[in-house]
Structure 1
Amino acid sequence: MLLFPFYYCIVFLMQFFSSSIARTTKLFLKLEDFFWKEYEPLNGVRLPYSIIGNELMLLKILAATANYDMPAHIENLECKRCVVVGNSNAIKNTSLGNTINKYDVVIRLNNAPIRGYEEDVGNKTTIRIFYPESASPDPGLNNEADTLMVMVPFKSRDLRWLKEILYDEKRVRKDFSNPPTLIWLVDSSKVRVLDPHFMHQTANKMLHIPYPPKKGRRYFHPTTGLLAVFVALNYCDVVHLAGFGYPPRKDLKQPIHYFGQHTMKAMMHSPHDIGREGQALKRLEEIGAVMYLHPHL
């Protein structure tokens, strides 16, 4: 079930990347991108789709982290088998924990807890994708010591927060609608910054969301979950999903996550187009680019 023959590593994602999407396994921004070769952001576009206007902030952040790659024991694998563990309530009572722990790469999202949920979600974490508002004060509580903490910069103040943390500067929280933590107990060598290319491609190629939005139209951006799926499709040879799937919109009392108290009512004014994302995941499943580990809606 889990250990696919190497043959599948060659052909599994072929249909997905035979379209206009170009696959890249370079996930994180590097310091040398700014010194030794030209970094080509999208013309006139800022975060979350490009770095224009934030170059100096990024230089300071990347100088403080010093590491920009995946660990060698993963990078050197001939076939990278990955699972993206979403936060959906669909993973509850699945007993998938041991299965999830056997993958080469386990990608988790935001501040989703592990402690107390190990039977369903496992306890291995290779990558945790987050943004400042979803950072836990002590990542060690729900991550391993070698977990890569990969920040998705949505706005300039996200980078400012990370710089203040890394250089132990005075924190400024007033510009955030949901103030992020003032203390983040993380090893700087495990911090990475996701290349905005992946956010742009997720929105543009997977969701076909125009940017900038048409006048008078609501602006949507991808969820961290769908972004993580696109990252996995680029980096991994086999991509499986667990913890994805929203309840029907009409049932506003249904819980969204396997943890916490949020229900579908909280999604009424969401900046995410969950209907469109559901269709994108369904297309990926139909062409064999991803496979779910449990039944889903």
Structure 2
Amino acid sequence: MRLLQLGFFLALASGLSALLIYITGVSDLRTCDQFTNESRFGSIAVSTKRFQESVNGLGLQAVTTGSDYCKVTINFPSDTVPKWKDPKTGELEGLSFDFNLCEAVATWEQVRNSTTILTSEFIDALPNGWEDYAWRRINKGVLLNQCKNKTLCLEKLSLVLPETPPYVPRQFDRCAVIGNSGDLLKTKFGKEIDDYDVVIRENGAPIKNYTEYVGKKSSFRLLNRGSAKALDKVVELDETRQEVLMIKTTIHDIMNKMIREVPINNPVYLMLGASFGSAAKGTGLKALEFALSICESVDMYGFTVDPGYKEWTRYFSESRQGHTPLHGRAYYQMMECLGLIKIHSPMRADPSRTVHSVPSQRTITAARIASEKLLRRVGAGSEDPLRACSIRKKLAKRKSTSVSGLRKAAVDHQNFVKGTIMYPLEHHPGHGVLCTLPKD
């Protein structure tokens, strides 16, 4: 076990150790001698000044925990004023947050190879899928007697349940996820945002009257339960009426009625996601999960993580009581420093908003392999992507995904997985995936 942890650390040494120095500033490099030799850190020390300049823009502190190289704690400065209170205890949110880098690297790589849209073939292929799972995606589904009347459940899901995923991994190149933070009003990112191939927005965030700040393009919109119940109002936010609406919770009779009677012609789907536990919550995280499952690269706007930003507002209205905002900000910063996303913030002086010392893709790949073995993930370390399949179903009626019109990266991925569609299995102990294979 220790050797696997050491393997993970060495794999990330050139990138992640740089990240730790980048966030905390270079202190005593000799404390790292137990993990690797000084020459490896020598090249990082040469770039100390650059790392310190980056630290000045962030002001966070990341420290490892004991001898467990996977665990890291990200601290906000002591003068940070938290605003969120736990509704149960009344206590203010803390300033320190623990993360497991091994789990993050392994799980997000799985997301990039999977679909995040619920389909009928997933439910059909899942053992007892209708009896044990389908009713959970229907509001008040507990009253449906575990979908023993499959026809009734299918009727409630039919308007949001495609047979197969409408999108594949790496289908789009550059994607932007737009949050709702008031920091968007500090910089006119509108034209920059509209240059992306895909723009993903959240809940009821408006576009009209704010285009110079948030752009006007909108490809997808992630919806929580409250926003989804107002589908008729949500579709009016995009003048083109072409947004794809992604609901992260359950389908409700009210939604079905609006889709049929308004009518709502936008595509509407339910999300199927990976398990992140309590590490991060909210629509923002689900929007990133969806984006990383269909995009080559993902940038974020309206999610300022820098501790110097002390406002807790939305760009279009008063802020609402949300969920652990500092925890979420720390998680997003971890994602950026692992090379998963890029955060655009008006708090950073660098006009190109570059975060230095992010691990290379080669480094992340090595770390991912070591992490999978350490965590004993299904198919750990295998070059065959199908080894991660906990459940395999060859569906006679499913044909291979058409690659006509897809960008080369998406076609290459389809060839790599042999036309297999991978679905995350929520709360699966080995983080395995359900795989549906095309007929021969």
Bin the TM-score by the shorter chain.
0.5 to 0.7
* 141 and 161 in structure 1: CA distance in 2 versus 1, 3 angstrom threshold: closer
1:159 positional shift? 2.8
> What corresponds to 2:282 in structure 1?
223
Q: Deviations over 1:186-230 (max 9, x none)?
A: 21x5111111x34xx2x42xx437xxxxxxxxxxxx111122112
Q: Deviations over 1:78-113 (max 9, x none)?
A: 652111000001111311111111111111000000
In structure 2, runs of 5+ residues without a counterpart are 1-101, 349-440
Give % identity: 22
Larger fraction in helix: 2
> What corresponds to 1:216 in structure 2?
none
Moved over 4 A (4+): 15-18, 43-48, 51-58, 65-72, 75-79, 246-251
In structure 1, runs of 5+ residues without a counterpart are 1-14, 169-183, 210-221
1:232 positional shift? 1.6
> What corresponds to 2:183 in structure 1?
90
- Residue 98 of structure 1 contacts residue 122 of structure 1 at CA under 8 Å; is this kept in 2? yes
Larger radius of gyration: 2
> What corresponds to 2:154 in structure 1?
59
1:242 positional shift? 0.2
Q: After superposition, where does 1:240-279 map in structure 2 within 5 Å?
A: 240-245=299-304, 254-262=311-319, 266-267=320-321, 270=322, 272-279=323-330
> What corresponds to 2:339 in structure 1?
288
- Residue 139 of structure 1 contacts residue 186 of structure 1 at CA under 8 Å; is this kept in 2? no
SS of 1:80 mapped into structure 2: strand
Cα RMSD of the aligned pairs, angstroms, is 3.7
Q: After superposition, where does 1:1-297 map in structure 2 within 5 Å?
A: 18-21=105-108, 22-23=110-111, 24-35=113-124, 37-38=125-126, 53=142, 59-65=154-160, 67=162, 80-134=173-227, 135=230, 137-143=232-238, 144-153=240-249, 158-168=251-261, 185-187=263-265, 190-195=267-272, 197-198=273-274, 201=275, 203-204=276-277, 207-208=278-279, 222-245=281-304, 254-262=311-319, 266-267=320-321, 270=322, 272-296=323-347
- Residue 169 of structure 2 contacts residue 293 of structure 2 at CA under 8 Å; is this kept in 1? no
- Residue 60 of structure 1 contacts residue 163 of structure 1 at CA under 8 Å; is this kept in 2? no
Q: Which amino acid aligns with 1:26?
A: T
Q: Which gives a bigger RCO, structure 1 or 2 (Cα 8 Å, sep 6+)?
A: 1
- Residue 178 of structure 2 contacts residue 214 of structure 2 at CA under 8 Å; is this kept in 1? yes
Larger fraction in strand: 2
SS of 1:138 mapped into structure 2: helix
Q: Which amino acid aligns with 1:109?
A: E
Moved more, 51-60 or 23-32: 51-60
1:274 positional shift? 1.7
SS of 2:106 mapped into structure 1: coil
- Residue 58 of structure 1 contacts residue 159 of structure 1 at CA under 8 Å; is this kept in 2? no
- Residue 299 of structure 2 contacts residue 342 of structure 2 at CA under 8 Å; is this kept in 1? yes
The aligned length equals 232
- Residue 203 of structure 2 contacts residue 221 of structure 2 at CA under 8 Å; is this kept in 1? yes
Q: Deviations over 1:245-266 (max 9, x none)?
A: 3797996xx451000123xxx4
1:121 positional shift? 0.4
* 39 and 118 in structure 1: CA distance in 2 versus 1, 3 angstrom threshold: farther
Q: Distance in 1 between matches of 2:192 and 2:164?
A: 26
Question: What TM-score comes out, normalization by structure 1 length?
Answer: 0.64
Question: What TM-score comes out, normalization by structure 2 length?
Answer: 0.45
* 166 and 236 in structure 1: CA distance in 2 versus 1, 3 angstrom threshold: same
Q: Which amino acid aligns with 1:192?
A: Y
Q: Distance in 1 between matches of 2:196 and 2:165?
A: 15
SS of 2:257 mapped into structure 1: helix
Q: Which amino acid aligns with 2:345?
A: H
* 244 and 39 in structure 1: CA distance in 2 versus 1, 3 angstrom threshold: farther
Q: Deviations over 1:158-208 (max 9, x none)?
A: 53332333455xxxxxxxxxxxxxxx6521x5111111x34xx2x42xx43
Q: Distance in 2 between matches of 1:292 and 1:232?
A: 14
Q: Distance in 1 between matches of 2:196 and 2:301?
A: 12
1:136 positional shift? 5.0
